[in-house]
């Protein structure tokens, strides 16, 4: 349901604007707006001191975010033990110092990581290098350390070198995971110039050395590469320990400072909504009616008796302007996840969540209707609930779906298709979907009729206060739908045939009245709703397909020579059917709600409720109330 809102006006001495905004922020219930223009008041722009403070707060917040982000990147976890934020000036100094320090750590870490990656590429050659150093070969021959972009080019290079130098050249190569190759080339010092020429012609580049070894001759640098890699790794560990120590000492301060700076910015933004004269200010906003009295008391206590909070009479504001807050009982609340996929309903209209909660699981159950699949969905719901606490709402929806699936499974006498019948002698308590195809179709269409007539009834009730003509039109359309159903039932002799003529006459009388009330489009609307009723036939189509797939899965048991293979195939097929069962009916039942059902009464266009409150990381990206 949509919570009833009140529009309020807060008035007080200009000097108390900041304190009042902080009091409103502490309560966290007022959605501030730019109020209607009042004589003698103008928009309350920040003075130069306020503007400078905003700049300072934004800069300090930038430092805090940079420091926290940097610590996170360095693998340090930052605690937030709660508590009040530190004083702004101290927090800003701390943030500036830490942002610079963390920035230095990050730059150093990046340089070390680059060097580590560079050295790690030569690691496969370290054993060869050690061997050469031990043998003193590095002083007797010319050494080339090369890196090829493609391992395929290695063969071409090897062939070119052998052609030019024969056995005088020694080549040791290793392919890297990246597809590149590193190679060590040893040639007699007298042939070094020939090698230079060949490498130049083949456009083969020398492998770069890390900056600390860049100016060292290769013969001296090679023996130092392995110890340098170990040193870099040790230094990286030390650097991360330093970051962790910083987070341990200052992390809590930084987290509290972040909250404080965000709160300060929110309060400064809120002051922009105020209208003010030289001596007084006015703030306007929305809040749930249930919080109104408490807010009045809180303002008087926190700021003083000079602050007046008055409610603006309902005839002075339009419902379309009010933000929308949805509040449903715990049984229905999880289904807000489904209704929230559409825009918020307009204030003063109907929240569709309770109806989704009632019909979504039921229609799903009518489609799937299988005790075995229902139990599987229930298990899935429990796993979802235990594994991911955040998916609590989803688990509850799955639980409701499971209950209806099991219930209709019992009514249809189905357990993994016809397995219940074959193994346990289950029989349908209502009807057998495999046999009564037409009956199932009638059930689906009847459900559609009930669903849409209910929607039209909701539309009539919700519009009654605003637009009597439209409300009567919606109500008459609902009656016409029922008359069509009666006429069809009479035609197929499911009800006394004598009802046919009165139903048709009533229909012919109602139709022009609806056209007069709602305009010529009412006729088109009526035909559309009739089509929407037929659209519920998908419930039968999907249900029949689901049970038939389950039966096919069961038949696989005997379709193969080996019983084990047959059972394995049957299980796989049931698994596939279960996956389809989860996806397809969900999508189609959602569609029946969004397109067919909501189309009869839902009026989107509500604005989100964003009260001025204290900042928190969880609420930061949460626009919808």
Partner 1 sequence: MESLWVPLAAAIAIAVTALATGWAQSKIGASIAASLAEKPELRTTAVLMIAIPETMVVLGFVIAVLILLRVG
What distance in Å separates the CA atoms of residue 275 and residue 284, rounded to the nearest whole number? 9
Q: Does 353 bind partner 1 (CB under 8 A)?
A: no
Query: Of the ranges 272-280, 292-300, 516-524, 538-546, which one interacts with partner 1 (CB under 8 A)?
Result: 538-546
Q: How far is the CB of 277 from partner 1 (least distance, A)?
A: 41
Q: How far is the CB of 492 from partner 1 (least distance, A)?
A: 9
Near partner 1 by CB under 8 A: residue from 591, 616, 617, 622: 591
Q: Does 537 bind partner 1 (CB under 8 A)?
A: yes
**188 with 168: CB under 8 angstroms?**
yes
Give the nearer residue to partner 1 in terms of CB position, either 186 or 540.
Answer: 540
Q: How far is the CB of 431 from partner 1 (least distance, A)?
A: 15
- Tokens at 327, concatenated: 């509040």
Query: Of the ranges 267-275, 433-441, 448-456, 496-504, which one interacts with partner 1 (CB under 8 A)?
Result: 433-441
Give the nearer residue to partner 1 in terms of CB position, either 289 or 527.
Answer: 527
Q: How far is the CB of 576 from partner 1 (least distance, A)?
A: 21
Segment holding 518, helix H or strand E: helix 500-518
Q: Does 594 bind partner 1 (CB under 8 A)?
A: yes
Tell me which residue of 201, 208, 215 sits closest to 180, measured CA to CA. 208
Tell me which residue of 445, 373, 381, 377 sits closest to 409, measured CA to CA. 373
3-state SS assignment for residue 591: helix
Give the nearer residue to partner 1 in terms of CB position, either 281 or 598.
Answer: 598
Give the nearer residue to partner 1 in terms of CB position, either 256 or 538.
Answer: 538
Measure CA 177 to chain center. Answer: 35
Tell me which residue of 470, 413, 324 sits closest to 31, measured CA to CA. 324
**192 with 119: CB under 8 angstroms?**
no
Measure CA 413 to chain center. Answer: 39
Cβ-based neighbours of 130, under 8 Å, separated by 6 or more:
223, 226
What distance in Å separates the CA atoms of residue 345 and residue 564, rounded to the nearest whole number? 55
Q: How far is the CB of 3 from partner 1 (least distance, A)?
A: 23
Q: Does 319 bind partner 1 (CB under 8 A)?
A: no
Q: How far is the CB of 104 from partner 1 (least distance, A)?
A: 38
Q: How far is the CB of 503 from partner 1 (least distance, A)?
A: 19
**Binding residues for partner 1 restricted to 323-352, rule: CB under 8 A:** 341-342
Q: Would you list the DSSP string of 431-463? A: --TTT-HHHHHHHHHHHHHHHHHHHHHHHHHHH
Q: How far is the CB of 18 from partner 1 (least distance, A)?
A: 36
Q: How many residues does the chain have?
A: 625
Q: How far is the CB of 536 from partner 1 (least distance, A)?
A: 9
The three-point CA angle 52-259-93 to 5° equals 55
Q: Which residues does residue 255 pair with via DSSP β-bridges, in sequence order?
A: none
Give the nearer residue to partner 1 in terms of CB position, either 230 or 437.
Answer: 437
Q: Does 531 bind partner 1 (CB under 8 A)?
A: yes
Query: Of the ranges 233-241, 260-268, 534-542, 565-573, which one interacts with partner 1 (CB under 8 A)?
Result: 534-542
329 φ, ψ to 5°? -60, 155
Q: Does 590 bind partner 1 (CB under 8 A)?
A: yes
Q: How many residues bind partner 1 (CB under 8 A)?
A: 18
Give the nearer residue to partner 1 in terms of CB position, either 67 or 444.
Answer: 444
What distance in Å separates the CA atoms of residue 76 and residue 246, rounded to the nearest whole number? 9
The three-point CA angle 197-203-208 to 5° equals 100
**Binding residues for partner 1 restricted to 439-478, rule: CB under 8 A:** 441
Q: How far is the CB of 453 from partner 1 (least distance, A)?
A: 19
H helical segments located in 202-291: 218-272
Q: Does 527 bind partner 1 (CB under 8 A)?
A: no
Residue with tokens 């949805």, as numbered in its chain: 326
Near partner 1 by CB under 8 A: residue from 7, 27, 451, 588: 588
What distance in Å separates the CA atoms of residue 305 and residue 297, rounded to the nearest whole number? 10
Q: Does 494 bind partner 1 (CB under 8 A)?
A: no
Give the nearer residue to partner 1 in terms of CB position, either 404 or 598.
Answer: 598
- Given the rule CB under 8 A, which residues bind partner 1? 341-342, 437-438, 441, 531, 534-535, 537-538, 540-541, 587-588, 590-591, 594-595
């Amino acid at each position: 349901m949509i919570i009833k809102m009140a529009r309020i006006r807060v008035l007080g001495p200009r000097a108390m604007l900041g304190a009042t905004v902080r009091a409103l922020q502490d309560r966290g219930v007022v959605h501030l707006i730019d109020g209607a223009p009042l004589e003698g008041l103008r928009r309350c722009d920040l003075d130069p001191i306020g503007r400078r403070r905003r700049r300072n707060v934004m800069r300090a917040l930038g430092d805090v975010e940079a420091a926290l982000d940097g610590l996170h990147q360095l693998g340090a976890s930052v605690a937030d033990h709660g508590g009040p934020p530190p004083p702004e000036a101290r927090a800003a100094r701390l943030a500036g110092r830490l942002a610079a320090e963390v920035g230095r750590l990050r730059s150093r870490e990046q340089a070390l990581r680059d060097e580590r990656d560079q050295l790690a590429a030569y690691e496969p050659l370290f054993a060869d290098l050690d061997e050469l150093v031990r043998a003193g070969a590095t002083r007797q021959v010319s050494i080339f350390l090369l890196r090829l972009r493609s391992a395929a080019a290695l063969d071409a290079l090897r062939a070119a070198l052998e052609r030019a130098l024969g056995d005088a050249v020694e080549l040791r190569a290793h392919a890297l995971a990246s597809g590149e190759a590193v190679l060590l080339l040893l040639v007699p010092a007298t042939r070094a110039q020939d090698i230079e020429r060949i490498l130049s012609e083949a456009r083969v580049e020398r492998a770069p050395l890390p900056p600390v070894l860049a100016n060292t001759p290769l013969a001296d640098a090679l023996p130092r590469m392995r110890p340098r890699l170990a040193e870099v790794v040790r230094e990286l560990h030390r650097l991360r320990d330093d970051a962790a120590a910083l987070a341990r000492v200052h992390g809590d301060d930084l987290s509290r400072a972040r909250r404080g700076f965000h709160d300060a910015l929110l309060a400064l933004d809120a002051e922009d909504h105020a209208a003010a004269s030289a001596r007084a200010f006015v703030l306007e906003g929305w809040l749930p009616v249930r919080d109104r009295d408490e807010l009045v008391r809180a303002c008087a206590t926190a700021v003083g008796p000079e602050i007046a909070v008055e409610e603006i009479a309902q005839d002075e504001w339009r419902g379309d302007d009010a933000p929308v807050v949805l509040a449903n009982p715990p049984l229905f609340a999880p289904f807000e996840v489904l209704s929230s996929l559409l825009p918020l309903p307009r204030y003063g209209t109907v929240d569709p969540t309770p109806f989704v909660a009632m019909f979504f699981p039921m229609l799903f159950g009518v489609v799937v209707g299988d005790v075995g699949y229902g139990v599987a969905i229930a298990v899935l719901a429990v796993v979802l609930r235990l594994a991911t606490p955040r998916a609590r709402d989803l688990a509850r929806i799955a639980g409701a779906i499971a209950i209806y699936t099991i219930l209709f499974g019992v009514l249809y006498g189905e357990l993994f298709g016809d397995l219940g019948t074959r193994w346990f002698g289950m029989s349908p308590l209502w009807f057998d979907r495999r046999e009564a195809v037409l009956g199932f179709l009638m059930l689906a269409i009847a459900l559609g009729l009930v669903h849409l007539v209910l929607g039209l009834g909701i539309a009539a009730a919700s519009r009654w206060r605003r637009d009597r003509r439209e409300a009567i039109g919606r109500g008459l359309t609902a009656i016409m739908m029922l008359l069509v159903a009666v006429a069809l039932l009479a035609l197929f002799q499911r009800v006394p045939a004598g009802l046919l003529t009165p139903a048709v006459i009533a229909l012919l009388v109602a139709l022009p009245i609806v056209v007069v009330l709602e305009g010529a489009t009412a006729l088109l609307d009526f035909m559309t709703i009739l089509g929407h009723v037929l659209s519920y036939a998908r419930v039968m189509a999907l249900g029949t397909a689901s049970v038939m797939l389950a039966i096919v899965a069961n038949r696989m048991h005997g379709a193969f020579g080996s019983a084990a293979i047959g059972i394995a195939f049957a299980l796989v097929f049931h698994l596939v059917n279960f996956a389809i069962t989860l996806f397809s009916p969900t999508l189609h039942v959602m569609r029946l709600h969004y397109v067919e059902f909501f189309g009869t009464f839902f009026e989107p266009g509500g604005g989100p409720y964003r009260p001025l409150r204290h900042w928190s990381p969880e609420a930061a990206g949460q626009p919808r109330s």
